[in-house]
């Protein structure tokens, strides 16, 4: 991909031109995937987010034919800015591990990609069991394959802002490039109530938005703060 232009004359957002050369991958199931993608996408050091399906045996699952897969979030992160151990702490904070999952689709799972991730995940689960003094239902499984979910699930909250999406469609006519956009992940997080107005003002120039779209995003986040509507949850339960 040309780092300055993607099939159009519209410039790629500055934040998308500053992707570190070395990224690591983490894969989590957190009960659903819309809200977790927004939450992790808002975190400094997380570069890319995508949602899909993992953990099952059928090939090419879809939302309406999941088999025994679970809704899953996959992230690429900069280990110089955030560690897997820190990501685990965020993972445990944002679900109830003592609650038995009511379906395979919404089961919380840590999918480990290597021995270090397996070791850290296991230690974090043991610590959580000691803390809660009860059964922890969160599973730890080896990562096998990740199937990308349908387009309409990616950056779910951003997709429900047509004006902003039109801007991104001009920049990234190829859906793969849109999914991989750090700017899209960040904006999706802000629209979902993750991040403050002050934080947005400090980095909005990196998102490649027009003046009109900047005003729109700032207005939405200001309204969320004014109404106290932070940490919104977009899951079907």
Distance between CA atoms of residues 100 and 108, nearest Å: 9
Quick check: 186 and 207 in contact, CB under 8 A? yes
* pLDDT tens track for 61-90: 999 999 999 999 999 999 999 999 999 999
Using DSSP, state whether 145 is helix, strand or coil: coil
Quick check: 151 and 181 in contact, CB under 8 A? no
**Mean pLDDT, 10 residues at a time, the chain of 237 residues:** 47 94 96 93 96 96 95 97 98 93 93 98 97 96 97 95 93 94 97 93 96 95 81 51
Tell me what pLDDT residue 112 has: 98
**Residues marked as catalytic:** 32
Tell me what pLDDT residue 233 has: 52
* pLDDT tens track for 167-194: 999 999 999 999 999 999 999 999 999 9
Contacting residues for 114 by C-beta, under 8 A, at least 6 apart: none
Structural domains present in the chain:
20-148 (3.30.1060.10), 154-227 (no CATH)
Tell me what pLDDT residue 229 has: 60
**pTM assigned to the model:** 0.91
């Amino acid at each position: 991909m040309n780092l300055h232009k993607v099939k159009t004359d519209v410039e790629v957002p500055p934040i998308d031109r500053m992707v570190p050369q070395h990224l690591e991958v983490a894969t989590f199931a957190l009960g659903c995937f819309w809200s977790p993608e927004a939450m992790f996408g808002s975190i400094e050091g997380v570069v890319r987010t995508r949602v899909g399906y993992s953990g099952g045996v059928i090939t090419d699952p879809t939302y309406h034919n999941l088999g025994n897969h679970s809704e899953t979030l996959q992230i690429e992160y900069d280990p110089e800015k955030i560690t897997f151990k820190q990501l685990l702490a965020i993972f445990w904070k944002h679900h109830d591990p003592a609650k038995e999952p009511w379906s395979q689709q919404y089961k919380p799972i840590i999918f480990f990609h290597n021995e270090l991730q397996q070791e850290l995940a296991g230690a974090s689960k043991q610590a959580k069991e000691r803390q809660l003094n009860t059964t922890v239902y969160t599973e730890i499984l080896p990562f096998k394959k990740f199937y990308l979910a349908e387009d309409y699930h990616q950056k779910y909250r951003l997709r429900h802002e047509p004006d902003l999406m039109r801007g991104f469609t001009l920049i990234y006519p190829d859906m793969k490039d849109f999914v991989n956009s750090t700017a899209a992940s960040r904006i999706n997080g802000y629209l979902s109530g993750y991040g403050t107005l002050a934080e947005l003002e400090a980095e909005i120039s990196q998102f490649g938005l027009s003046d009109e779209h900047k005003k729109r995003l700032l207005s939405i986040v200001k309204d969320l703060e004014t109404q106290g509507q932070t940490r919104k949850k977009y899951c079907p339960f």
